[in-house]
Structure 1
Amino acid sequence: MTAEHQRLAEANAHQTRWRRFGPYLSERQWGTVREDYSAQGHAWDFVTHDMARSYAYRWGEDGLAGVSDDQQLLCLSLGLWNGQDPILKERLFGLSGPEGNHGEDVKELYYYLDNLPTHAYMCMLYKYPQHAFPYEWLVKENARRGRDKPDFELLDTAIFHDDCYFDVFVEYAKVGPDDLLMQVTVSNRCTEAATLHVLPQLWFRNTWAWGLDDSRRLLLEATEDGAIAVQHAQLGSYNLYCDQAPALLFCDNETNTERLYGVPKTDPGQYFKDGINDYVVQGVKAAVNPARTGTKAAAHYALLVPGGTSQTVRVRLGPPGLAAPFVDFDQLLQQRLQEANEYYARLQQDLADADARRVQRQAWAGMLWSKQFYYYDVPQWLAGDPALPPPPPGHRSGRNSTWKHLNNADIISMPDKWEYPWYAAWDLAFHCVPLAQLDPGFAKNQLRLLCQDWYMHPDGQLPAYEWNLSDVNPPVHAWATWRVYKQCQKQNDGVGDLNFLTTIFHRLLLNFTWWVNRKDRRGRNVFEGGFLGLDNIGLFDRSAPLPAGYFIEQADCTGWVAMYALNMMRIALELARTRPVYQDLASKFVEHFLYIAEAMTKMGDADTSLWDNEDEFYYDVLHTPENGRQLLKIRSLVGLIPMFAVEVLDDEVLNAVPQFVARLNWFLEHRPALASLVSRWQEPGAGQTHLFSLLRGHRMKRLLARALDEAEFLSDYGVRSLSKYHQQHPAHLHLAGQKLVLRYEPGESETDLFGGNSNWRGPVWFPTNFLLIESLQRFHHYYGDDFKVEYPTHSGHYCTLLEIADALSGRLTKLFLRNETGIRPALGPDKRMQNDPHFCDYILFHEYFNADTGWGLGASHQTGWTGLIAKLLQPRLSAAGCD
């Protein structure tokens, strides 16, 4: 057992709070729904990046390379100033949704390099230009560009072209649960000496200004020996020890109302949140408190770093009274790094390739750095705070007003702590699969969390994301629960956590019922979910109300619900091994699945199916008052998602559930059409297995013929979200007087339907590719090695489904791995990113990828679902001959 495994065991047994401090600060609290109190819900405008340095947040904090305790009461992060910028670099800069030509977009270069599940060691890198940061240029140039142009990024400004920048490495190491080392290493990549101001900053989240907490028993103050003493009623006492006796600066985490709102300062003893910024950048001596007390403080280091060299800053947040806080600092830091190496050596012992190990470890680091304290009390947010003016009426009855039960204050895995600093239900489900490799306890707790009463709506809906809690994400929670359960069972010598499985299964019964009752308009087992995460994949926004008399039945939504039913069946069968009563519920879900399968294929008559016999593909159906039903002939992920509804049961499972088998035999005997349609119940496969799927062998082959066709879905880097067929053959639709057109676009979409980063008109993205790979593996488990499919289509080369699954995995992994010319496709065309030794081995994990080039697009730190690469990089079967 490694030292980190021992810490995890202690944390999971509630013996030692090793997870108390972690990277729980957001990277963007401004521009979020939580901080928005406008009448119309214009969150991007209510608190902007320019306001953020002066505005005391209500619901959370942000910072650069920051950490906090698990209730975000005390925060520690980094401030930097290069002597040229108009502001202190305290938080990452980026464009708001309306400012970016493809939605919100961070405009910085930073990398998560390492982390441990208990955060006993962490490391990240921030690249800071020595020239003035081009804030205005980035805003103006992106505003000038339309959706048909690429984003204008920091590298495009050529600000790094002369190597005049600092690599700022930030490391944290825990001596104990409440004793934290922070080391900042500044490397000057320029040939000339340059000065950098480095400011480790410590502050309290503002819990006192809202009229709900009158005690304010908290204080930061300078001690006689040059430390910053911390007093907090809940946290207790700490000292921030600062090496080399820097100047200590103090102000308060309070809104500068004079700067933001023109309200004159009435008390000369007021020192606002931006006081340290004004002191360092503008030289305003009166901006900081001469008494050296407050609720925000910084240790100010001014480093003159010779060209090509490095300097370090060391601080330690630990218990008061340490006589020599830095005597063992270097030794402890190196020890934790060595323990991190030992921990990952154990996890990667079967992964021989050094480059693959590097990519996988950085993917895991990104997963762990992307934890965030998320606080959102909807009823309090809607009502406003006692000490402040009430929100406008439009706020009280607007966004999320039907979620008055929701009160979140937890550490949650975020999709991207800058671009998506809020949880999303289906993103989180995918996160938990690679997280379970690292920290099974945390992964299970994340899945449990969204099923709690203070998250799940009383009607059974899971919260989607803060911009619209009522939106609908694909129902993948049961899938993730089963995957995490099986991973943890394998790690625990075959013993599964049945309490975890039971708890979530009971809650998901409510959610499944919500789906059946709310998303099946005509009671025909065909579903309409709306958005379902596929922002821009159709001709119109499926979440927006359609004209009167119109409605849509969705192939993807119906496929998701069929998958959900099979996931629930499988969980019920596992529980039934020791608790036979669950056999009845397993029967319920398999019967529900079969009715959905019938509906998807027939819907009563042959000419009303979601399956199109002419194209041999699944399509959405639009019902109109003029023409009745109309197949929306768009070859997209919508038509591939029914492949995800597949489960294989072997005799070992079935022998343990005789009541389930008897009930299913009776049902299929009396419903022969269903049995012959999909179940293959009477046809055992390889090794006495039985298949549940929406697709028989022929229909699956026809879908795969399109999915594996390089002229359609198959890219060098995975499966596209829209067939390349639509590049030369755009889809058209006349809808209520509008002519709508859809074309294949390999990268950023030129059309903005859903808002924000609408993007799914061609790019490759990980979650659906991952599910497709898993589905092929399951189909192979049933059909065996004798069942082969042409891969790629029209190649004349046939492979087993397992070989194809492995080949698809290989196409995804080569996005990040160096190819034969040393290029990582995901890093794009920039030569510095590909060849510079200070760039080329630092990996960004983008939200999605250009299907023709592999270039990373969208959010650049989406180790949420793109973190699935860590799972795909685990050793796998050779695909020799298949790619």
Structure 2
Amino acid sequence: MKDTAERKRIHARADNKGWKKWGPYLAERQWGTVREDYSYWGDSWGFISHELSRSYAYRWGEDGIGGISDNKGHVCLAFAFWNHHDPIIKERLFGLTGPEGNHGEDVKELYYYLDSTPTHSYMKLLYKYPQQAFPYAKLSEENRKRNRLQPEYEILDTGVFNDNRYFDIYIEYAKADENDLLVKITAHNRYTKEAPLTILPTLWFRNTWSWGYEQFNYKPILNGIANRQIDVNHRLLGRYKFYLDGADELIFCENETNTEKMFGKPNAIPYTKDGINNYIVTGKKQYINRNQIGSKAAGHYKKIVPAGGSVEIRLRFSNQTHLTNAFEDFDEIFEQRKAEADEFYDDLQKNVTDPELRTVQRQAFAGMLWNKQFFYYNVNEWLKGDPKMPFEFKGRAYPRNLTWKHMYTANILSMPDKWEYPWFAAWDLAFHTVTLARLDPYFAKRQLAVVLREYYMHPNGQLPAYEWNFSDVNPPVHAWATWKVYEIDREMNGQGDVAFLERVFHKLLLNFTWWVNRKDAEGNNVFSGGFLGLDNIGVFDRSAELPTGGYLEQADGTGWMAMYTLNMLRIACEISLVRPAYQDMASKFFEHFLHIAAAMKSLGGDKISLWDEEDQFYYDVLHTPDKKGMLLKVRSMVGLIPLFAVEILDDDLLEKLPDFKRRVEWVLTNRPDLASLVSRWHEPGKGESHLLALLRGHRMKMLLKRMFDETEFLSDYGIRALSKFHEKHPYEFYVNGEVLRVKYTPAESESSIFGGNSNWRGPIWFPLNFLIVDSLLKFYNYYGDDYEIEYPTNSGNVMTVREAAMCVAERLINIFRRDANGNIPVYTSSKLFQEDEHFKDLYLFYEYFNGDNGDGLGASHQMGWTGLVADLIEITSVHKQKMSELSAH
């Protein structure tokens, strides 16, 4: 990698301090989260609503539009706007909570992450704000009327953006230094008439002083000087100044709960959290402190934006407290940081020559970086309640996460989506790190390390899933992500971080042991993880007690564990090159993999295999209390996951690990039953390599044949999570007089299992598609060009496994690329995004995608695992270059 200015800043220090101390660490929704729920019945969605959020001082975090904070969320800066028609200022993003949306929680705003460097030395975001009254009630009422079979009612459907009657508000940051931030707001009027716009850059302290803890009894203060600056004094962060160029006035209140409005109790202070809102909307000064002091403040800019024109405001938040002219070098610094961002990405994207794909990739990278968030949650304190609270806390009828009292998080984490999922999800985060490693390998490595720390991981070795239920079980993908991050880091920096591998390996051992001890019901190396992240893909909720009684043996659970063993084997081998004693661990995982492979082939007891010879596919096996076993013949991603268990060991590596090689050869000689499960160990593949995989020749061909069948799994936009076979042939299961049905649904869920907008019954999901591509490339590394397959099935086209992997990757990328008709599939349902000059180059990286037409679905800003499109663009671009070079020769 080129030693650019930004790359030097990244290398300067590995933690979230220095140039990373300030970043986009604010949530986009703190209301409606588990952490802020102190209701007796656990009504997380209802305890603090959007309506109440402007009046309630949060306990565990803060939210805002286009905001930043320090790395512990003590000081926050974000933006509020008012179009002079809304009943409230636009201080935070609006959306529907889980019960309010016909397909679950859903943000009803238009905003786009356009740029960011890894250290946030430069950032850019676009927020689209209507000039008419924001349709809060209309969005709520219409979605409440709709059922699961109807589409979501979105903000564009309300007509509030018709005739371009809106503002495009660009929020940009450029750092002069580690603690010196320049901010620029540019508001464009897209309408044909001038329109009023109030802009309120808002600065406040997260409330740490109201909860009755002696160590946090200190209350910091903001102090206004004329209309030009705000002095910031915080015991932990020190002194800063917030310089506001040309503000009409400064407005102050306190970041304290309006107890009168919330709980019918007199306010202890006169100027509560909603004071700025109340003053702007009513014009009454009784809500604000005219002495210009408080813990929350805003600059007040009253603008008339000309038709087709724009206005700009400039701000500076700095520890340089004696600047005589804070804006003297403003434009120069901004241009320098923007140029450095371009230089950084020109180097990072040097293999991507297609201008359209460069734009898609850069916005994907930007979204990954904007979706960092300070995540704070002390479960023990949360369960008990605080010594001092603004209401009477009556305890909890059903204490959520009761067995996770050890958990204390206060870190910058990569979020799936800072509005719809403003809490980390363990397996989501693992996928995030793969893309983040290309941007900032230090941050990626820290993300993997932090969720394995003792104050995250349960003492029994389980990883926390997500805050709604830390005890749910996510797929064990962290070892895979660890190895991928290591490889990317080595590729970019020329040297592998073995110390990182060793550090993470020990924690992964604890988690692996938890899986073996807790999720192998019969001790026969066949696993039943339960939920495993796939939500409603099955006949019934696999995390709950089965309606039939008994237990499941899961094809995906067992496939994930086989993959886990091979990931751990590969990591152990790599560490062994430096620390030979780890060869014993490599041997352990080699043998464990063989035992899982044997179990996948044929089980004990009732002798039912997870592999069905009739369908040539993997299924879950249901064991009922009467000792009977039956296959649940749902053709889903569950049956494709065994494909992920693949690893290649080459002779060169084995020669460097003599103890491991000797143990491998002993097992293969003395355990012929296990040796027969290893594909051609004594027949080296491409480059003298050896293949370890669950899928052997015939089964692999049969699985690929079904996966690449366009009437089943293969869509124009990737691999579906459920075979389209079930569209006309739903799978039905009869129990207790009820029919449970699994049907192919390409878009939103029709099932209430797991609720929300989750749907694994047909759409395209990037994380598992990425694993499919990754696994196929590993198979190619063994087989080379000699192993050919038909792609698509029944097409007559024959190609190598690598070529097929690239074809799948291209189909996924095509979701964001204009087709022959000039349309972008991700916006199939929106003409505006296809044609309008102010929309057509803006990309949303959705949670998942319609299995038939590629339309974006679910969480609209799901930057996390859909951000993997950036990696796919890199992989396919490099492949095209190599093919071009070969053809030239």
Instruction: Bin the TM-score by the shorter chain.
Output: over 0.9
1:440 corresponds to which residue?
441
Distance 2:736 2:667 in 1: 44
1:37 corresponds to which residue?
38
Offset of 1:394 from its aligned partner? 2.6
Distance 1:467 1:757 in 2: 15
**What is the one-letter code of the residue matched to 1:90?**
E
Offset of 1:686 from its aligned partner? 1.8
1:247 corresponds to which residue?
249
Offset of 1:590 from its aligned partner? 1.1
Q: Which runs of structure 2 are paired with 1:736-775 in the superposition (5 Å)?
A: 736-775=736-775
Offset of 1:40 from its aligned partner? 2.1
1:141 corresponds to which residue?
142
Q: Is the 8 A contact 2:210 2:217 kept in 1?
A: no
1:246-302 C-alpha deviation (Å, 9 max, x unpaired) = 21000000001111122234x5x5200000000001222201111110000000001
Q: Does residue 81 of structure 1 match 2:82?
A: yes
Offset of 1:823 from its aligned partner? 1.3
Q: Is the 8 A contact 1:188 1:309 kept in 2?
A: yes
Runs of 4+, deviation exceeding 6 Å: none
Offset of 1:225 from its aligned partner? 6.5
1:793 corresponds to which residue?
793
Distance 1:439 1:264 in 2: 49
Offset of 1:73 from its aligned partner? 0.4
Offset of 1:332 from its aligned partner? 0.9
Q: Which runs of structure 2 are paired with 1:216-615 in the superposition (5 Å)?
A: 216-224=218-226, 226-265=228-267, 270-318=270-318, 319-388=320-389, 391-394=393-396, 398-493=399-494, 495-547=495-547, 549-604=549-604, 607-615=607-615
Distance 1:666 1:467 in 2: 47
Q: Is the 8 A contact 1:217 1:231 kept in 2?
A: no
Distance 1:387 1:46 in 2: 18
1:194-220 C-alpha deviation (Å, 9 max, x unpaired) = 010000000000000001145424110
Unaligned stretches of 5+ residues in structure 1: none
The change in CA–CA distance for 1:250 and 1:166 in structure 2 (over 3 A counts) is same
SS of residue in 2 equivalent to 1:711: coil
Offset of 1:659 from its aligned partner? 1.0
Q: Is the 8 A contact 1:113 1:362 kept in 2?
A: yes
Distance 2:163 2:271 in 1: 39
1:139-173 C-alpha deviation (Å, 9 max, x unpaired) = 01111000001111111112111110000000011
The change in CA–CA distance for 1:50 and 1:224 in structure 2 (over 3 A counts) is closer
SS of residue in 2 equivalent to 1:784: helix
1:776 corresponds to which residue?
776
Q: Is the 8 A contact 1:382 1:391 kept in 2?
A: no
1:852 corresponds to which residue?
852
The change in CA–CA distance for 1:526 and 1:589 in structure 2 (over 3 A counts) is same
Q: Is the 8 A contact 2:169 2:185 kept in 1?
A: yes
The change in CA–CA distance for 1:233 and 1:94 in structure 2 (over 3 A counts) is same
1:191 corresponds to which residue?
192
Distance 1:454 1:808 in 2: 39
Offset of 1:12 from its aligned partner? 3.0
The change in CA–CA distance for 1:671 and 1:252 in structure 2 (over 3 A counts) is same
Q: Is the 8 A contact 1:11 1:19 kept in 2?
A: no
Offset of 1:236 from its aligned partner? 0.7
Distance 2:324 2:525 in 1: 70
Distance 2:844 2:228 in 1: 39
Q: Is the 8 A contact 2:746 2:852 kept in 1?
A: yes
**What is the one-letter code of the residue matched to 1:238?**
Y
Unaligned stretches of 5+ residues in structure 2: 885-889
Distance 2:545 2:399 in 1: 17
Distance 1:279 1:335 in 2: 39
Q: Is the 8 A contact 1:384 1:390 kept in 2?
A: no
2:691 corresponds to which residue?
691
Distance 1:74 1:605 in 2: 61
Distance 2:109 2:627 in 1: 51
SS of residue in 1 equivalent to 2:677: helix
1:860-881 C-alpha deviation (Å, 9 max, x unpaired) = 1111000000100112324999
**What is the one-letter code of the residue matched to 2:788?**
K
1:517-554 C-alpha deviation (Å, 9 max, x unpaired) = 00001101010111111011011111111147421110
1:6 corresponds to which residue?
8
TM-score scaled to structure 1, two decimals? 0.98
Distance 1:880 1:716 in 2: 23
Q: Does residue 54 of structure 1 match 2:55?
A: yes
1:611-631 C-alpha deviation (Å, 9 max, x unpaired) = 000000000011123571110
Distance 1:574 1:442 in 2: 22
Q: Which runs of structure 2 are paired with 1:63-102 in the superposition (5 Å)?
A: 63-102=64-103
Distance 2:812 2:226 in 1: 57
The change in CA–CA distance for 1:225 and 1:168 in structure 2 (over 3 A counts) is closer
2:878 corresponds to which residue?
876
Q: Percent identity?
A: 57
SS of residue in 2 equivalent to 1:301: strand
Distance 1:313 1:336 in 2: 18
Offset of 1:192 from its aligned partner? 0.3
Offset of 1:785 from its aligned partner? 0.3
Distance 1:439 1:46 in 2: 38
Distance 2:226 2:297 in 1: 16
1:490-538 C-alpha deviation (Å, 9 max, x unpaired) = 1222x21111000000110000000000000110101011111101101
Distance 2:670 2:627 in 1: 36
2:714 corresponds to which residue?
714
Q: Does residue 106 of structure 1 match 2:133?
A: no
Once the two structures are overlaid, the 10-residue window that deviates more, 709-718 or 581-590, is: 581-590
**What is the one-letter code of the residue matched to 1:517?**
N
Q: Is the 8 A contact 2:594 2:677 kept in 1?
A: no
**What is the one-letter code of the residue matched to 1:496?**
G
Distance 1:69 1:513 in 2: 37
Q: Is the 8 A contact 1:23 1:67 kept in 2?
A: yes
Q: Is the 8 A contact 2:65 2:91 kept in 1?
A: yes
Q: Is the 8 A contact 2:278 2:284 kept in 1?
A: yes
Offset of 1:304 from its aligned partner? 0.3
Distance 1:327 1:652 in 2: 61
SS of residue in 2 equivalent to 1:156: helix
**What is the one-letter code of the residue matched to 2:349?**
Q
Once the two structures are overlaid, the 10-residue window that deviates more, 675-684 or 516-525, is: 675-684
Distance 1:159 1:240 in 2: 35
Distance 2:29 2:630 in 1: 44
Offset of 1:828 from its aligned partner? 2.4
SS of residue in 2 equivalent to 1:286: helix
SS of residue in 2 equivalent to 1:202: strand
2:887 corresponds to which residue?
none
Offset of 1:607 from its aligned partner? 4.6
SS of residue in 2 equivalent to 1:12: coil
SS of residue in 1 equivalent to 2:69: strand
Offset of 1:338 from its aligned partner? 0.9
TM-score scaled to structure 2, two decimals? 0.97
SS of residue in 2 equivalent to 1:873: helix
**What is the one-letter code of the residue matched to 1:869?**
V
1:440-468 C-alpha deviation (Å, 9 max, x unpaired) = 10000000001111111000011100000
**What is the one-letter code of the residue matched to 1:504?**
V
Q: Is the 8 A contact 2:524 2:604 kept in 1?
A: no
**What is the one-letter code of the residue matched to 2:539?**
L
Distance 1:341 1:520 in 2: 51
Q: Does residue 677 of structure 1 match 2:677?
A: yes
2:177 corresponds to which residue?
176
